[in-house]
Structure 1
Amino acid sequence: MDAVTRKIPSHEVTYARLRDLVLFGHLAPGAPVTIQGLISDLGAGMTPVREAIRRLTADGALLPQGNRRVSVPHLTLGLLEQVAFARLTIEPKLAELAATHLNPALIDRLQGLDNLVDQAIRAGNVPGYLAANHAFHFALYEVSEAAVLVDMAQSLWLRFGPSLRVVCSRYGQAALPDRHSEALAAMRAGDPIALARAIERDIEQGVDQVRLAILQGEI
């Protein structure tokens, strides 16, 4: 049985659904949600939901609140600086490593994902932007052959994504980070260093916006 036809375990499906709720900001930072509510929203049983919560809590993406409630933690300035340092260390390196594995078909795929990013920005579609932006970055990172670094990057995005959603929703199109055109140009030029630098600037843009929002008490 191949990967396409193999049945995905229900607990993995539940985890992926809850992870996406956190990653794309559908659960607002600081707003508690009940485990029973998540069971209803995810269409899953108590055991897989509790397991998904346990895994996301271990990643720092959820915070137990007692009374069968959890919430997405607020991103403080101190935590943001740690997340930013880690992202700016790991993700440009992933891009540099991925550059040696790029081919025209993959670059075309990444261009298609960036087209979805651009469409979402023009439409002011924040959830669509967040999903397409994530897909662009991790389609690139996944070919780096650096699985440990990819896992670390995923965990960092879980901590950063909810706050970025708040910023993007409040400030509109101007708050949607996108330096992908620079990254794509570097890919086509076969320049790993320029690709890493473009990804670094893309991250810095989003971090700067979230930092400003924190300093101004917006999130």
Structure 2
Amino acid sequence: MATRPEPDGDGESGATLRAAVYSELRHRLITGRIAPDVPISTRGLAQQLGVSQMPVRDALSRLAAEGAVAIRSKRRITVPPPTPARLEEIMRARLLLEPEAAAQALPYLDGSTIEALRAADAALDAALARDDLHGYMESNWRFHFLIYRGRPQSLLANIIETLWMQFGPLMRTVYGRVGTAHLTDQHHRAIDAIARRSEPALRAAIAADIADGMALIGGLDKAA
């Protein structure tokens, strides 16, 4: 987001600023840029974003209501630490929702979308090659939501993104412990399914991609 300070009041500019801060923190969670069980500083975030602490506090309160962060006190705000059971619950919810979201979006995915997906997947492959965890998670998020948000005003995409707010920080921990070297790229299968307009193949590719992530959860305790 822009780092230019803006009014923090209740007017239109204040509401716009609060929405921008919330959107930025939401994206940082989704892409694993906020680590679990590490204290979150409202002052530090405000300085990074070039705003006062008030819109940051507002955003964190909203994220806490959505289950993405835990506010114990003004000085103790964190992303809850991961557990295998919690990760499995999130991944199973993804497995239920994301193949359906992809299937619903398929009629809206055209040639330009396929090219954007290929670019996102190439960036993902490059991140894996250089062991760039943040680059991998950013490109992976972009790939999936190019598909899910292909359908205009997709309710499922909004629900899935909320799941990813909890998925991102937790999977950052998993990838950090067990590595990304053994991740299988199922994205080529998804792109091929979209190009062939095959709903069953697209559902299968998305499900396989999520299943690969679920398989890594089994290595969490071993790598701890």
1:3 is matched with none
Structure 1 residue 12 corresponds to structure 2 residue 19? yes
Q: What TM-score does the superposition give when structure 1 sets the normalisation length?
A: 0.88
The letter for the 2-side match of 1:156 is: L
* SS class of match (1:9): helix
- Structure 2 SS opposite 1:33: coil
- 2: CA distance between counterparts of 1:73 and 1:175? 26
Match status 1:81 vs 2:95: no
Instruction: State the shift of 1:146 in Å.
Output: 5.7
Alignment partner, residue 222 of structure 2: 216
Query: What do the CA deviations read for 1:57-105 (whole angstroms, capped 9, x no partner)?
Result: 1221110121433101122233223212210011000111111112111
**Aligned with 1:97 (options 76, 96, 104):** 104
**1:144 lines up with 2:151 in the alignment:** yes
Secondary structure at 1:144's aligned position in 2? coil
Contact between 1:75 and 1:160, CA under 8 Å: does it hold in 2? Answer: no
Secondary structure of the structure 1 residue equivalent to 2:37? coil
Separation (CA, whole Å) in 1 of partners of 2:183 and 2:62: 29
Deviation at 1:167, TM superposition (A): 2.4
User: Of residues 58, 65, 68 in structure 1, which corresponds to 2:65?
Assistant: 58
The reply to whether residue 49 of structure 1 matches residue 56 of structure 2 is yes
Q: Which amino acid aligns with 2:105?
A: A
CA 1:67/1:55 → structure 2, altered by over 3 Å: closer, same or farther?
closer
- Identical residues among aligned pairs (%): 33
Structure 2 residues not aligned, in runs of 5+: 1-12
Deviation at 1:9, TM superposition (A): 1.8
Query: How far off is 1:163 after superposition?
Result: 1.9
Contact 2:178 2:216 in 1 (8 A): no
Q: Map of 1:1-219 to 2, 5 A cutoff? A: 9-145=16-152, 147-176=154-183, 178-213=185-220, 215-216=221-222, 218=224
Distance in 2 of aligned mates of 1:48 and 1:99 = 37
How many Å separate the matches in 1 of 2:148 and 2:40? 32
Provide the aligned length of Structure 1 versus Structure 2: 211
**TM-aligned CA deviation for residue 110 of structure 1:** 1.0
| Cα distance in 1 for residues equivalent to 2:67 and 2:18 | 19
Q: Distance in 1 between matches of 2:182 and 2:77?
A: 28
Root mean square deviation, CA, Å: 1.9
Residue 181 of structure 2 aligns to a residue whose secondary structure is helix
Q: Which amino acid aligns with 1:125?
A: D
TM-fit CA distance, 1:160: 1.0
Cα distance, 1:115 vs. partner?
1.0
Which amino acid counterpart does residue 195 of structure 2 have in structure 1?
Answer: R
Q: Is the 8 A contact 1:98 1:140 kept in 2?
A: yes
- Distance in 1 between residues matched to 2:156 and 2:73, nearest whole Å: 33
What SS class does the counterpart of residue 72 from structure 2 fall into?
strand
1:86–1:173 CA distance, 2 compared to 1 (3 A): closer
Give yes or no for contact 2:105–2:147 (8 Å, CA) kept in 1: yes
